[in-house]
Chain A
Amino acid sequence: MEAMTTPSTELIVAIEDAAAASRTPIWKRLLRDPQFVVTASILVVIFLLGILTPLLTQHGPNDADLSMVNAPVGTPGYPLGADETGRDIWTRLLHSINTAAISAIIGAGVALTVGVIAGLIGGYFGAVTRASTEWLFSLIMTFPGILLLIILMPVTGGDYRFTMLIFGVLLSPGIYRIVRNLVVGVKNELYVDAARVSGLGNLRILSRHVLFVVRGPIIIAAAFMAGSAIAVQSGLAFLGVGSLQIPSFGAMIASGFRNLYIAPTQFLWPSLMLGVITASLVLLGNALRDTLEGSKPTPVKVGAGQKVAADGVAKAHASGALLEVTDLGIAYRGPSGQPREVVRGVSLSIARGQVVGVVGESGSGKTQTAFATLGVLPPEAVITRGSILFDGQELVGLTDAQMRPLRGKAIAYIPQEPMSNLDPSYRVGSQLVEGVRSALGLSKREAKARVIALLERCGIADPQRTFDSYPHQISGGMAQRVLIAGAVASRPRLLIADEPTTALDVTVQAEILDLLRDLQSELDMAVLLVTHNFGVVADLCDGIVVMQKGEVVEAGPATEIFQNPQHDYTKMLLGAILDEGSVRADAPAAAPAEGILR
């Protein structure tokens, strides 16, 4: 696809909302999220208790006092009681927090260091490097984690810190995969190319341009990894693997478990603390994800059709026109709350067999108007007012089921990006047959014959071969012909074409315009052509509607508007078209002193 497409109105709304959001720093946005504030505070308080252990306790973690065996809660000097060997539970709980913290730091730290570095290298450099890191991490993933930690106990000497170091390595493939995939995506971005052209070395590009962009998912993963490191350390200690001298949640739970019938609260305290810590870490990770990656859109009801504001629909008078749009308003509700109208009171009408071009720059609302007519506005959009009459029938407020008999039959559509409108996993022919059958209720064989005839009519030299091809096997121009064939299969009365040639080369564009013109006169279709290109309008259209910032500024017959534009904006647009005759006349700028002129 050669020509770039200008951004859509939705994108512009999203960008403006993102811009508003970007002015508040990330930490401020995090502080506004109650989930983040609560979980982060819980974790801070817990780990602060761990740090302050020497000040808060009177005993050592392994000081046993046989007179205190299974002492109840509230015994003086033993606020939470003592365990089966007379050790203070409060003291052991606080020491366990430190054990958990160190496990989390070592486990997640090693996983991050190994995973991030290997991910950056594996994703950024050539195929050989990528294949070898890939192989290495696949190998690591095949190790049975917990079992390996237990088997390696003699090597680690029972020290949980060594165990966590190994566990970190075992966790690293997860991080490696995240980072590698992100880097593979980012490294082909133009700004990385631009950095390379600016003379930056690989190290600087990786640290500044790549790592900086992919940091969000890494921070999120780190929160989850910390949680799983704590859980695994506790699990191993519960099984009694490793040094028994180290106070940890797992060891405490095991001891409490043995005493469950004698002193059930011994089991409660460490379980509660472990549960709160891991739950907080997981919820913290979720809160980070929502803030750093933008929260997921709220689910919408399927099949309800486009949203319409309660007081929106105004009954319009049916006129003779095929399509009559009256005072249409469309608003978007951004994440920042307030609805923003992107189409403001647009009226236009198209007679039977007439070709009308809707022209405007990006953000003018031209595509939104077309989408509203098709009934395919995105769920965030709301029709605030106005009416759309098609052949006397009101389209605003219809459900998807009520819209279905019209779409694809009476109203057809040609998109801007032909390739992204064909499903890559089905053959071209079967996609067309499916559409034709649902629109016309033909048998499979009739539909196939019809499609092949249509493909031939749309200028495809070898229709059977195209019929049997997958979308990636045909060119962009061919794909657009295929979609046009599909659109006109049901002899629609109205064809809505959204920038149908913008993504195509000029020579292909000329052929597609020829095809559209021929089909239009042959089928006597009305066409609503959305475009930014005045040349395309001049080639095809009877009437023009000029839109600016969601409003119609001028409408009329094409010849009149081209010869005698009334509105300043139309004049500006026509004036901005680069003059056909003008060629750059001035000589090349003088060469600098050290250069030699040819």
Chain B
Amino acid sequence: MSLLEITDLRVSFPGRGWRAKPVEVLHGVSLDVAHGETVGLVGESGSGKTTIGRAVLGLLKPSGGTIGFNGETISALAPRQRRRLAKDIQVVFQDPYTSLNPSLTVGDILAEPLVVQGATGKDARARVRTLLDQVGLPADAAERLPREFSGGQRQRVAIARALAPQPKLIVCDEPVSALDLSTQERVLDLFIDIQRSTGVAYLFISHDLTVVRHISHRVAVLYRGDLVEMGPAAQVTSEPAHEYTRKLLLAAPVADPSLQRERREARRNLAAA
């Protein structure tokens, strides 16, 4: 049995204007995430990858299909029951500049979910120290405000917040896209280390195939609200079965002038064919 089981998920947004028809952005997507596994979700803007993440997090209501977590259907839960799941499903968002409340100290940000789950102030403070240590931030970070940190450090704070209640699944929505290249690699390695030591599963959403390949066990490719391909990371990213995946692979420029020239030719040939 999988940890997360998404079956035939459909999401519609209300259309623009008076009595406009709703716009369906996900047309029946099914995928699953096992315990301790990373499933990468790749797609371009408008593919619906972020929408899947928000539906799993309960931030929007699906118009069809089900989301199962640990054997329980969670897509139709009332808000009050849904809150119980906060312990098990957490999130790391893309933008470390807006995902942390600017007026709370890092310590308060990290302690809040713990206190809500019923921890005492003292326990929460001790846990905050462990968390900061786990994500490689100094202990005195707890007293500082988010704006005193760089992008990479803020993303570490966001990861620590997600880890606080010891969840079983973390939805990572483009968590390294806003970071510099060198920071990106370190944060990805941190994600992998944490997974090895805690056994948490990731639903890892990104537009960057290279990033997804680096961290995922399995990869799912989304195109305009449909899942076009899913399989082991190595297979999807080196011998893609679907034409769109192939196009996506060839479109990403490689940091080597001669290799890039070859890739460009291959892409043009594919487009011409």
A interface with B by C-beta (< 8 Å): 1-7, 15, 18-19, 22-23, 189-191, 193-201, 204, 208-209, 212-213, 361-362, 476, 505-510, 513-514, 532-539, 558-559, 562, 572-574, 576-580, 582-584, 586-592, 595-598
CB atoms of B182 and A576 under 8 A apart: yes
Q: Could you say which residues of chain B place their CB within 8 Å of the CB of A198? A: 86, 90, 112-113, 116, 161, 164-165
Check if B234 is an interface residue, CB within 8 A of chain A. yes
Distance of A571 Cα from B179 Cα, bound (Å):
18
Partner among A4, A595, A597 whose Cβ is within 8 Å of the Cβ of B178: A4
CB atoms of B116 and A3 under 8 A apart: no
Q: Could you say which residues of chain A place their CB within 8 Å of the CB of B269? A: none
Q: Could you say which residues of chain A place their CB within 8 Å of the CB of B181? A: 361, 532, 534, 573, 576-577
Give residues of chain B (243-270) contacting chain A, Cβ–Cβ below 8 Å: 247-248, 250-260, 264, 267-268
The 4 A-B residue pairs with the shortest CB-CB distance, nearest first, are A199-B86, A535-B253, A589-B36, A591-B35
Q: Could you say which residues of chain A place their CB within 8 Å of the CB of B117? A: 199
CB atoms of A213 and B151 under 8 A apart: no
CB atoms of B95 and A190 under 8 A apart: yes
CB atoms of A505 and B207 under 8 A apart: yes
Partner among B45, B113, B184, B253 whose Cβ is within 8 Å of the Cβ of A510: B253
B interface with A by C-beta (< 8 Å): 1-3, 34-38, 44-45, 57-59, 70, 83-87, 89-91, 93-95, 97-104, 112-113, 116-117, 145, 147-148, 151, 158, 161, 164-165, 168, 174, 177-182, 184-185, 188, 192, 195-196, 198-201, 207-211, 213-217, 233-234, 237-238, 247-248, 250-260, 264, 267-268
Count of A-B contacts judged by CB separation below 8 Å: 226
Give 16 new A-B contacts, CB below 8 A, not counting A212-B104, A589-B37.
A3-B177, A18-B147, A22-B145, A190-B95, A198-B161, A361-B182, A362-B180, A508-B44, A510-B251, A538-B256, A539-B264, A573-B181, A583-B214, A588-B35, A588-B217, A590-B36
Residue of B nearest to A190 (CB): B99
CB atoms of B44 and A506 under 8 A apart: yes
Nearest CB of A to B173, in Å: 9
CB atoms of A506 and B252 under 8 A apart: yes
Residue of B nearest to A213 (CB): B103
23 contacts between A and B (CB under 8 A): A2-B44, A6-B180, A190-B95, A197-B57, A197-B59, A197-B89, A198-B164, A199-B83, A199-B113, A212-B104, A506-B44, A506-B207, A506-B252, A508-B44, A510-B250, A538-B254, A559-B257, A559-B258, A562-B256, A590-B35, A596-B1, A597-B34, A598-B2
Distance of A362 Cα from B174 Cα, bound (Å):
18
Q: Could you say which residues of chain A place their CB within 8 Å of the CB of B38? A: 584, 588
Q: Could you say which residues of chain B place their CB within 8 Å of the CB of A505? A: 44-45, 207
CB atoms of A194 and B84 under 8 A apart: no
Distance of A190 Cα from B92 Cα, bound (Å):
10
Q: Could you say which residues of chain B place their CB within 8 Å of the CB of A204? A: 116
CB atoms of B91 and A194 under 8 A apart: yes
Q: Could you say which residues of chain A place their CB within 8 Å of the CB of B37? A: 588-589
Nearest CB of B to A515, in Å: 13
CB atoms of B87 and A584 under 8 A apart: no
Q: Could you say which residues of chain B place their CB within 8 Å of the CB of A576? A: 181-182, 184-185
Partner among B86, B100, B180, B256 whose Cβ is within 8 Å of the Cβ of A532: B180
CB atoms of B93 and A193 under 8 A apart: yes
Q: Could you say which residues of chain B place their CB within 8 Å of the CB of A510? A: 250-251, 253, 264, 267
Residue of B nearest to A209 (CB): B101
CB atoms of A538 and B253 under 8 A apart: yes
Residue of A nearest to B268 (CB): A514
Partner among B113, B145, B196, B207 whose Cβ is within 8 Å of the Cβ of A2: B207
CB contact under 8 A between A535 and B252, given known A2-B207, A583-B234:
yes
Residue of A nearest to B32 (CB): A598
